[in-house]
């Protein structure tokens, strides 16, 4: 079986199911596990992702306003791969190539391929997506083991909760302009032992001013811009350090691209990281860093 994944989270699911050797193509954003970089990238963005946040947001909004695709698909390469299964998504046209683009392309390039579309809204949907991908790739028996492992990790976090009042947590998903995270993120905060403030679980992320975020009275703020690794998050958050500190006494900078923005298996790791930090424990500095500690590093 030959599998093409056009969604980073789906690539992670496919590999977690033991199907790495069946992957023949990926999206340009698929980067985990690291060895998938050797596979041909079938998509590209029409905007420069290295632009500063505000300019990047404006460029994406302009394309959306003109009803133009944000991503392009290499149809010739896709046809040459002749996949049996293609996994894409319908959750967010900003985050990955749209379902309609992929469906239209497959009718021309690989009409025999099975198209699997993931639409995760809640944390539980991510577990369901594991079963969906496993079934489409004819390894349904492997899904239960992976789902069970992820559920047990989340259960271990829950068992470590104390009786102390749960902190109110705001997750900033974009910095310029500010955006509050929705979809599965509120569920992840809940699982980590916090009380999410902002969009309801399953609802889309929303733009919000800094004063509106302050008005939510968060006890802690987690900054995890969509698509940014920890280094870029730290770089873009540093000029806003005073603003972020004014929102809450504690601020965590997180590698959202790897651990929170993608609805895949590493969400369990995101929950574990956030739970440890909320308990006051030191977290893996490759995943996240406290804003105060990050400022000390930059100053040093």
Total structural domains within the chain: 2
Q: What is the mean pLDDT of residues 74-95?
A: 87
Residues 107 and 172 in one domain: no
Q: What is the mean pLDDT of residues 198-209?
A: 96
Residues 22 and 109 in one domain: yes
Residues 107 and 194 in one domain: no
Q: Is residue 300 very low, low, confident or very high in pLDDT (cuts 50, 70, 90)?
A: very low
Residues 190 and 273 in one domain: yes
* Domain containing residue 224: 162-299
Query: Which H, E and C letters describe the chain, residue by residue?
Result: CCEEECCHHHHHHHHHCCCHHHEEEECCCCCCCHHHHHCCECEEECCCCCCCHHHHHHHHHHHHHCCCCCEEECHHHHHHHCCCEEEEECCCCCCCCCHHHHHHHHHHHCCCCEEEEECCCCHHHHHHHHHHHHHHCCCHHHHHHHHHHHHHHHHHHHHCCCCCCCCEEEEEEEECCEEECCCCHHHHHHHHCCEECCCCCCCCCEECCHHHHHHCCCCEEEECCCCCCHHHHHHHHHHHHHHHHHHCCEEEEECHHHHCCCCCCCHHHHHHHHHHHHCCCCCCCCCEEEHHHHHHHHHC
Residues 112 and 198 in one domain: no
Radius of gyration of the CA atoms of the chain, in A:
19
Angle 5-80-73 from CA coordinates, rounded to 5° = 50
Residues 222 and 290 in one domain: yes
In-domain check, residue 17: yes
Share of the chain above pLDDT 90, in %: 75
Give the model confidence (pLDDT) of 129-150 as tens digits: 999 999 999 999 999 999 999 9
Q: What is the mean pLDDT of residues 34-60?
A: 89
With 70 as the cut, is the pLDDT of residue 35 above it?
yes
Residues 103 and 180 in one domain: no
In-domain check, residue 124: no
CATH of the domain at 89: 3.40.50.1980
């Amino acid at each position: 079986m030959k599998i093409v994944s056009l969604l980073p989270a789906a690539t992670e699911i496919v590999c977690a199911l033991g199907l790495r050797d069946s992957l023949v193509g990926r999206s340009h954003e698929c980067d985990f596990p690291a060895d998938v970089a050797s596979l041909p990238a079938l998509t590209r963005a029409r905007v420069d992702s290295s632009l500063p946040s505000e300019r990047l947001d404006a460029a994406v909004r302009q394309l959306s306003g003109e009803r133009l695709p944000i991503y392009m698909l290499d149809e010739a390469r896709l046809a040459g791969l002749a996949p049996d299964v293609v996994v894409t998504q319908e959750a967010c046209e900003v985050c990955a190539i749209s379902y309609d683009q992929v469906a239209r392309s497959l009718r021309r390039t690989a009409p025999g391929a099975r198209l699997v579309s993931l639409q995760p809204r809640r944390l539980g949907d991510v577990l369901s997506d594991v079963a969906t991908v496993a079934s489409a790739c004819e390894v349904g028996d492997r899904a239960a083991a992976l789902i069970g492992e992820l559920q047990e990790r989340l259960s271990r976090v829950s068992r470590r909760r104390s009786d102390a009042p749960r902190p109110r947590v705001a997750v900033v998903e974009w910095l310029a302009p500010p955006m509050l995270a929705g979809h599965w993120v509120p569920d992840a905060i809940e699982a980590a032992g916090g009380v999410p403030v902002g969009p309801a679980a399953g609802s889309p992320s929303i733009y919000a001013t800094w004063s509106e975020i302050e008005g939510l009275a968060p006890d802690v703020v987690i900054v995890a811009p969509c698509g940014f690794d920890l280094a870029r998050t730290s770089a873009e958050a540093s000029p806003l350090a005073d603003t972020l500190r004014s929102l809450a006494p504690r601020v965590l900078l997180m590698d959202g691209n790897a651990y929170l923005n993608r609805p895949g298996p590493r969400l369990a790791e995101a929950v574990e990281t956030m739970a440890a930090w909320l308990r006051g424990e030191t977290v893996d500095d490759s995943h996240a860093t406290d804003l105060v500690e990050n400022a000390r590093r930059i100053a040093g």
